[in-house]
Structure 1
């Protein structure tokens, strides 16, 4: 059983079909089908917080940052493209985060991997 937020996030990501983990900009990052990144850890990367950054569908970032700014934020570098920052150093709603990770994955995964996820 994962004990740290980073380990729990890793488990959510690696449970997705064809997911690969490799470093990106000094942080753990997860790629769908080895090609496109859908999630990255931000371990005090630009501030003193533990967080993750996720690809997000249009409008989701703005909605969550507006409604729950203690948990969600617009991350540097990728926030202007709609990516969502999720603080992991607060009480995390893990089922909700699992849904956000899956949605991020679906945005970038090839059709075959999305179909595999649907079959699960």
Structure 2
């Protein structure tokens, strides 16, 4: 008999991330078996971490180091994915304005990567 996989439920703090993401153009929330994910098109913008109280966001290496050093209780390095550094944002401690700016920057980075990829494919 197959075990039913239930989606991980976000904490009440996830509402802070949801409000910040709703204000960005083209961002949609999707439920997955691992929990909610914010997407821009098919690309993941941010997603709920395994602990259920943190959001994982792709970010530049320099900015990640700066934020982790400034607020280690709120921000932590979370490895790499697809060649991009990831940062874990503890939703209980993050300021809503800071999270909104962080998600907006991640959204701009995704758009910039998409433009670079399309230019590279048309140049070939």
SS at match of 2:78: coil
Q: Give 1 or 2: higher strand fraction.
A: 2
Alignment partners' CA distance in 2, 1:61 and 1:35: 24
**Normalized against structure 2, the TM-score is what?**
0.69
Q: CA deviation at 1:53?
A: 0.9
SS at match of 2:28: strand
Is 2:75 aligned against 1:65?
no
| Count of aligned pairs between the two proteins | 101
Moved over 2 A (4+): none
Q: Which residue of 1 aligns with 2:110?
A: 108
SS at match of 1:12: helix
Q: 1:20 aligns with which of 15, 25, 28?
A: 28
Q: Max radius of gyration: which structure?
A: 2
Q: 2:42 aligns with which of 11, 35, 39?
A: 35
Gaps spanning 5+ residues in structure 2: where?
1-11, 116-124
Gaps spanning 5+ residues in structure 1: where?
112-120
* CA RMSD, Structure 1 to Structure 2 (Å): 2.1
